[in-house]
A and B are shown apart, each in its own frame.
Chain A
Amino acid sequence: MKTLSLLIGGLLLLAAPAAAHAADVQAASADLTEMSIEQLASVSVFSASRFEQKATEAPSSISVVTSDEIRKYGHRTLSDILKSVRGFYTSYDRNYAALGVRGFSPPGDLNTRILLMVDGHRINDGIYESATVGTEFILDVDLIERVEIVRGPSSSLYGSNAFFGVVNVITRQGAAVGGAEISGEAGSFKSYKGRATYGNRFANGLTAVVSGTLFRSGGQSFYYPEYDSPDTNNGIADRKDGDSSASFFSSLALGGFTFQAAGISREKRLPTGSYGTIFNDSANRTVDERYYADLKYEGSPGADVQLTGRLFLDWYAYRGDYAFQDNMVNPVAPFRYVNRDVTRNAWLGGELVAVRKFFESHKVAAGVEIRDYFRQDQKNFNDTAPDSLLLDERHRTSVWALYLQDDIEIAKGLILNIGVRHDDYSTFGGTTHPRGALIWNPRPETTFKLLYGTAFRAPTQYEMFYTDNGATQSRNPDLKPEKITTWEAVAERSLGEHFRVGVSGYYYKITDLISQQLDPNDKLIYRNVASVQARGAELDVDGRFEGGFAGRASCTLQNNKDESGHLLTNSPRVIAKLNLTAPLWADRYFAGLETQYTGARRSLKGDTAGGYALANLTLTGRDVVKGLDASAGVYNLLDHRYGDPTGNKLSEDILQQDGRSFRAKLTYAF
Chain B
Amino acid sequence: MKPNSKGVARVVILALALSGLIPGPAPGETPAFQEYQVKAAFLYNFAKFVEWPSEAFASPESPMVLVILGSNPFGDALKNLRGKTVNGRQLVVRMAESVEDVDPSHILYVGESEKGKLSHILKTAEKRNILTVGDSEGFAQRGGVINMLTEGSRVVIEVNPEAAQRARLTVSSKLLALARIVRAGRR
Contacts and interface: CB of A to CB of B under 8 A. Distances in A.
Interface of A: 25-33, 35-38, 40-49, 52-56, 175-176, 178-179, 200-201, 203, 442-446, 448, 485, 487, 489, 491, 493-498, 500-501, 503-507, 509, 535-537, 544, 546-547, 586-587, 627, 669-670
Nearest to B86: A587
Contacts of A446: 18-19, 23
B81 A33 contact: yes
A670 B172 CA distance: 11
A627 B174 CA distance: 8
A37 B37 contact: no
A489 B80 contact: no
Closest 6 CB pairs of A and B: A491-B15, A505-B11, A46-B32, A494-B26, A32-B41, A28-B31
A52 B153 CA distance: 10
13 contacts: A33-B81, A37-B48, A37-B49, A40-B38, A45-B154, A443-B19, A446-B18, A491-B11, A494-B24, A494-B28, A497-B24, A497-B26, A537-B7
Contacts of A40: 38, 41-42, 45, 155
A495 B37 CA distance: 20
Contact of B150 (A48, A176, A669): A48
Given A28-B31, A489-B15, A445 B1 contact: no
A49 B7 CA distance: 38
Nearest to B156: A41
B154 A503 contact: no
A36 to B, nearest CB: 8
B25 interface: yes
Given A40-B155, A41-B155, A507-B7, A29 B33 contact: no
Contacts, number: 192
B178 A445 contact: no
A47 B32 CA distance: 9
A586 B85 CA distance: 8
A29 B150 contact: no
A153 to B, nearest CB: 13
A440 to B, nearest CB: 10
Interface string B74-87: 00000111111111
Given A37-B45, A45-B150, A32 B33 contact: yes
In this complex, which of A37, A53, A55, A178 has the most chain B Cβ atoms within 10 angstroms of its Cβ? A37
B29 A445 contact: yes
B35 interface: yes
Contacts of A493: 15, 18-19, 21
B80 A38 contact: no
A83 B73 CA distance: 40
Contact of A669 (B18, B174, B175): B174
B56 to A, nearest CB: 19
B58 interface: no
Nearest to B175: A37
A43 B157 CA distance: 13
Nearest to A493: B18
Contacts of A485: 1
B15 A42 contact: no
A33 B28 contact: no
A43 B152 CA distance: 11
Given A29-B29, A491-B18, 14 more contacts: A37-B174, A40-B155, A43-B38, A46-B30, A46-B33, A47-B35, A47-B150, A48-B152, A446-B19, A497-B27, A501-B18, A503-B18, A536-B7, A587-B48
Interface in B1-60: 1, 3-4, 7-8, 10-12, 14-16, 18-19, 21, 23-35, 37-38, 40-42, 44-45, 48-49
A487 B8 contact: yes
Contacts of A45: 33-35, 38, 150, 153-155
A390 B82 CA distance: 69
B31 A178 contact: no
A175 B178 contact: yes
A54 B173 CA distance: 34
In this complex, which of A38, A41, A487 has the most chain B Cβ atoms within 10 angstroms of its Cβ? A41
Nearest to A535: B4
A445 B26 contact: yes
B38 A491 contact: no
Contacts of A670: 173
A43 B82 contact: no
B11 to A, nearest CB: 3
Contacts of A507: 3-4, 7-8
Interface in B104-160: 150, 152-157
B166 interface: no
Contacts of A442: 19
A495 to B, nearest CB: 7
A501 B30 CA distance: 14
A68 to B, nearest CB: 12
B107 to A, nearest CB: 14
A143 to B, nearest CB: 17
Given A26-B33, A544-B28, A587-B86, A503 B14 contact: yes
Contacts of B23: 443, 445-446
B175 to A, nearest CB: 7
In this complex, which of A203, A485, A505, A509 has the most chain B Cβ atoms within 10 angstroms of its Cβ? A505
In this complex, which of A176, A179, A442, A498 has the most chain B Cβ atoms within 10 angstroms of its Cβ? A179
Contact of A41 (B34, B79, B178): B178
A41 B41 CA distance: 10
B152 to A, nearest CB: 6
Nearest to B19: A446
Contacts of B83: 546-547
Interface in B149-187: 150, 152-157, 173-175, 177-178, 180
A49 B152 CA distance: 7
Nearest to B44: A33
A49 B41 CA distance: 19
A374 B87 CA distance: 58
Contact of A444 (B4, B21, B26, B88): B26
Contacts of B153: 44-45, 48-49, 52
Contacts of A537: 7, 10-11
A489 B8 contact: yes
Contact of B154 (A29, A37, A42): A42
Contacts of B10: 505, 537
B8 A505 contact: yes
Nearest to A583: B85
Contacts of A500: 28-29
Contacts of A505: 4, 7-8, 10-11
Contacts of B48: 37, 587
In this complex, which of B11, B25, B37 has the most chain A Cβ atoms within 10 angstroms of its Cβ? B11
B42 A37 contact: yes
In this complex, which of B26, B42, B81, B150 has the most chain A Cβ atoms within 10 angstroms of its Cβ? B26
Contact of B32 (A26, A37, A203, A487): A26
Contact of A44 (B33, B40, B44): B33
Contact of B31 (A35, A54, A669): A54
Nearest to A534: B4
A52 B34 CA distance: 12
